[in-house]
């Protein structure tokens, strides 16, 4: 439904054209390599694979790629991670039509696109040191993903299968997350996720 909505927006713009689409993260890299689009609109929430991992793969294979991340993930928790990974912009799916088209045009022209709110947050962060960071900012991208999966109630075995990791590796990540967030148990992690709205963004 989201892809159809984006296509309907773009078809009314004379200088834009959709050249490909997919809902399967395993097809994205092949499609990008074959089509070499001027701009890629990428979601972070996809079945079977982290969109952030896909973003990093695209930037490794095609460093000049222009990628607009469009997602329901909260900006304050995920935007900086995607920009550091190489995204050219970050926008939420509930953004106004004009804002979406503006983001596409801005990135296509070689510039970056972020909201005014995020721009102000990034400016504030320049004045902060690590001790002042929000707890979630201390987590690596992989740790953040595993916390998100834990928040859905998935077992370590399920998470290991989904991410193609060993159970012991997932347990190590879980231990690091507990340490960084100063928590004691999986129940604490789930409560933390609820308090920070992490488990509301799984679709």
Residues 139-148 have pLDDT tens digits of 888 888 899 8
pLDDT at 201 over 60: no
E-state strands within 63-184: 67-71, 89-92
Global pTM? 0.63
Domain with CATH 3.40.50.2300 in the chain: 2-125
pLDDT over 90 percentage in the chain: 32
Q: Are 189 and 178 in contact (CB under 8 A)?
A: yes
Torsion of CA 179, 181, 187, 191, to 10 degrees: 180
**Nearest Cα to Cα of residue 133 among 88, 79, 180:** 180
* CATH number, domain 131-200, options 1.10.540.10, 3.40.50.720, 3.30.390.50, 1.10.10.10: 1.10.10.10
Of the candidates 110, 41, 118, which has an alpha carbon nearest to the alpha carbon of residue 78?
118
Cβ-based burial of 84 (10 A; exposed 0-12, middle 13-18, buried ≥19): exposed
Give start-end residues of each CATH 1.10.10.10 domain in the chain: 131-200
For the domain made up of 2-125, the CATH class stated in words is alpha beta
For residues 64-83, one letter each, b for 16 or more C-beta atoms within 10 angstroms of the residue's C-beta and e for the rest, the string is ebbbbbbbbbebebbbbbbb
Reported as a pLDDT band with limits 50, 70 and 90, residue 69 is very high
Q: What is the pLDDT of residues 8-36, one digit of tens each?
A: 989 889 999 999 999 888 899 999 999 99
Q: What pLDDT is stored for residue 125 in this prediction?
A: 66
């Amino acid at each position: 439904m989201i892809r159809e909505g984006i296509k309907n927006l773009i078809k009314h713009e004379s200088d834009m054209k959709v050249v490909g689409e997919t809902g399967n993260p395993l097809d994205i890299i092949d499609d990008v390599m074959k089509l070499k689009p001027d701009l890629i609109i990428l979601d972070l929430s996809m079945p079977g694979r982290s969109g952030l991992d896909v973003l990093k793969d695209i930037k490794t294979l095609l460093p000049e790629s222009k990628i607009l991340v469009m997602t329901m993930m909260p900006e304050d928790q995920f935007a900086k991670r995607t920009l550091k990974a190489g995204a050219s912009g970050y926008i939420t799916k509930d953004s106004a039509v004009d804002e979406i088209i503006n983001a596409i045009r801005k990135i296509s022209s070689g510039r970056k696109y972020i909201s005014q709110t995020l721009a102000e947050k990034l400016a504030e962060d320049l004045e902060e040191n690590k001790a002042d960071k929000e707890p979630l900012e201390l987590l690596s991208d992989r740790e953040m993903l595993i916390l998100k999966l834990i928040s859905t109630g998935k077992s370590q075995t399920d998470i290991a299968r989904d991410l193609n990791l060993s159970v012991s590796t997932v347990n190590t990540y879980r231990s690091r997350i507990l340490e960084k967030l100063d928590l004691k148990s999986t129940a604490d992690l789930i409560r933390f996720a609820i308090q920070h709205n992490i488990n509301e963004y799984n679709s």
